[in-house]
Amino acid sequence: MNLTQRLRSAPILSPLEVRDFRLLVAGAVVSLIGDGFFYVALAWQVYEISNVPTALSLVGVAWTLPMVLLLLIGGAMSDRYDRRRLMIGADFIRAAAIGLMAVLSIAGVLELWHVAALIAFVGAGDAFFNPASTAIIPDLLPADRLPAANALAGMYRPLTFRLIGPALAGVAVAAFGPGLAFGLDAVTFLGSAVAVAAIRTRPTSRPKGRLNPRTTIDEISDGLRFVRGQPWIWATLVSAMLSLLVFLGPVEVLVPFLVKNRLGLGAESLGAIFAAGGVGSIAMAIVIGQFGLPRRRMTVMFAAWSSGVAVMAAYGLMTNLWHAVVASVITHAMFELGQVIWTTMLQQRVPRQLLGRVSSLDWLVSTGLVPISYALTGPAAGVFGPEATMVGAALIGAVFMFMLLFVPGVRDAEREVPAPQATTGST
C-alpha cells in the first residue's frame, strides 16, 4: 500500500494528500513543538526572576495587548494580501524577539522588563499570523475535507504543543535553564516560515488596490456587519470573551505558581500537566476523525467548552500532581471537541472573501479582555488567595460560557446546511 492509499484509508489523514496542506502542517508541527518549549520556559523564567503571580500577569498583559490592538488590521490584510507572506513575516518577527530573549537568558542578564518588551513583539506577530493561518486552510482544501483537516489539527497540535514540546521542555529547563528552550522556539519559527514559503496555492481573487486607512475601516466594517447578522457567531464570541476574562489569566498565571509553591514541584511537573492536556486533545481528535462531528453542533460545542472550564477548578483544589493531570486531560478533551466544531463551522459557513476578517474578529472579541484578565489575576490572588481565585474563576467562567447558548437564533445553525465553496488546492 503506497502513501496515497494509506492516507485515503484513514479519513482523518486524507487532507494530507494535498501537497500544500502537507507543507502547512509540517510548518505548524515544527513551530508548535517550539511553542511547547516556550510556554514551560516562559513561566519558569518569570518565576525565577520574581516569584509572585503579579510578575507573570504583567508578562501576559504585554503579550496579549498588542495582539488585541492589531487583530482587526491583521484580519483585513489577510483578506487583501497573500496570506502566506503575512504568516512568513509574523514568523520572522517572533523568531527575532524570542531569539533575543534566549540570548539574554543564557547570558544571565534577562530581566522582567526585557521579557515584557520582547513578548509584545510576539503578540504583534500573533495578530497577523493567527487570522491568516485560519483563513488559508479553505484556500488549500475542498469544503468536504475541512472537518477532517480540523480533526487532524486536533491531533498534531496537542501532540506537539502540549505533549512532546512540554514533556521535553520540562526536562530541558530543569537541566539547562529556560534560555535553551527559548532558542529552540526561535529556530522553529524559521522552520515554519520555510514551509509556508514553499506553498504554491494562491487565492483565485483579491480586492484591487492598496490597503489604506479608509479601505481598512470599510473592510473591517463589512466583517462586523456579517458577524452582527449571524447570532451563532456573535453569541459564541461574547460567551468566549466573558469566560476568558474570568478564567484565562488565573489558569495561565496561577497553575505554574501552584505547582511551584503549593505542590513544591519543578518545571518537569508543569510540563507533565501540559502534556496530559495533549493526551486529552489527541484522544478527542481521534474520536472526531473516526466518527465525525455531532449533529447538534452548537449545543455540543457550548456544553463541551463550559464543562472543560468548570473542571479547571481542580487546579485550585489539587494536593497531588495526578489531580492536575486528570483535570488537564478532561479539560483539553472538551476544549478540542468545541474547537473543531467551531473552526469547521467558520470555514464552511463564512464566505471565503470574509474569512480573514471574521477570523480576526473571532480572535479579537474572544481575547479582547484577556489583558484585563491577566492584570486582575495578581491582585485577585493577593486578596482571595491563589487557590480560591482559581476555583472561583473556573466556576464563574463555565456559567458565562454556557449562558449565551440560549440567545435566540444561536441554535438555528444546527439545522442549516452550509453551501460548498470551491478551492484552488492542488495535490
Q: 229: exposed, middle or buried (C-beta count within 10 Å: 0-12, 13-18, 19+)? A: exposed
Buried b (16+ CB within 10 A) or exposed e, 390-401: bbbbbbbbbebb
pLDDT at 192: 94
Residue type, 18: V
Q: Looking at residue 313, what is its pLDDT?
A: 94
Q: What residues in the chain have per-residue pLDDT under 70?
A: 1-11, 202-216, 415-427
Domain annotation covers residue 208: no
- 401 within some domain: yes
Give the pLDDT of residue 209: 55
Within a domain: 238: yes
- The pLDDT assigned to 349 comes to 83
User: Would you state the pLDDT for residue 416?
Assistant: 59
281 in a structural domain: yes
Question: Is residue 384 included in any domain, yes or no?
Answer: yes
Say if CB 49 and CB 179 are below 8 A apart. Answer: no
Boundaries of domain holding 64: 14-203+215-415
Per-residue confidence (pLDDT) for residue 388, from 0 to 100: 94
pLDDT of residue 351: 82
- Counting the structural domains of the chain, the total is 1
The rounded distance, in Å, linking the Cα atoms of 99 and 409 is: 47
Distance (Å, whole) CA 258 – CA 251: 10
pLDDT in tens, 111-168: 999 999 999 999 999 999 988 888 888 888 887 788 788 778 877 887 887 778 777 8
Q: How many CA atoms lie within 13 A of 22 on its CB side?
A: 11
Domain assignment present for residue 53? The answer is yes
CATH of the domain at 74: 1.20.1250.20
Residue 159 is classified by DSSP as: I
Number of C-beta neighbours around residue 369 at 10 A: 22
Asked if residue 71 is part of any domain, the answer here is: yes
pTM: 0.70
Backbone angles phi, psi at 3, to 5 degrees: -60, -45
**294 in any annotated domain:** yes
**Amino acid 332: pLDDT:** 92
Q: Tens digits of per-residue pLDDT, 20-75? A: 999 999 999 999 989 888 888 898 888 888 888 788 888 888 988 898 888 888 88
Residue for grid cell 487583530: 71
